Amino acid sequence: MNEPKPVDERYYQLLHQLQALDFVLVELTLYLDTHSNDADALQQFNQISEERWKVACEFEASYGPLLQFGLSFSGYPWQWNDTPWPWQV
């Protein structure tokens, strides 16, 4: 296994932002499951989804992929063995 690379403060800021956005998206999903006609909630869900995508793109451009199975691209060389992995911090 590779030694963990040192990461800067931005790494942790982006991860924290992603966790917060994911939490909001889960809560909105649960709400929309029972209130599917709430246009404001759906608009908020779509807005947060777009914001999450932008933050994830920024994270991946600087620190490598977040998701496997073709859901995130990898730079060269293969980045999946670069540590720390997002779920390790």
In this prediction, residue 2 carries a pLDDT of 59
Contacts of 11 (CB under 8 A, 6+ apart): 59, 62, 63, 89
Quick count: other Cβ atoms within 10 Å of Cβ 18? 17
pLDDT of residue 66: 85
Q: Write the single-letter amino acid at 54.
A: K
Distance (Å, whole) CA 41 – CA 51: 15
Q: How far apart are alpha carbons 64 and 16 in whole angstroms?
A: 16
Cα Rg of the chain (Å, integer): 16
**Per-domain boundaries in the chain:** 9-88
pLDDT of the residue at 64:
85
Query: For residues 14 and 33, what is the distance between their CA atoms, to the nearest angstrom?
Result: 28
Closest CA to 25 of 59, 50, 7: 50
Whole-prediction pTM value?
0.76
Q: Output the tens digit of pLDDT for each of the chain's 89 residues.
A: 556 666 789 999 999 999 999 999 999 999 999 999 999 999 999 999 999 999 999 999 998 888 776 656 656 655 656 677 666 76
The residue type at 58 = E
What pLDDT does residue 77 have? Answer: 58
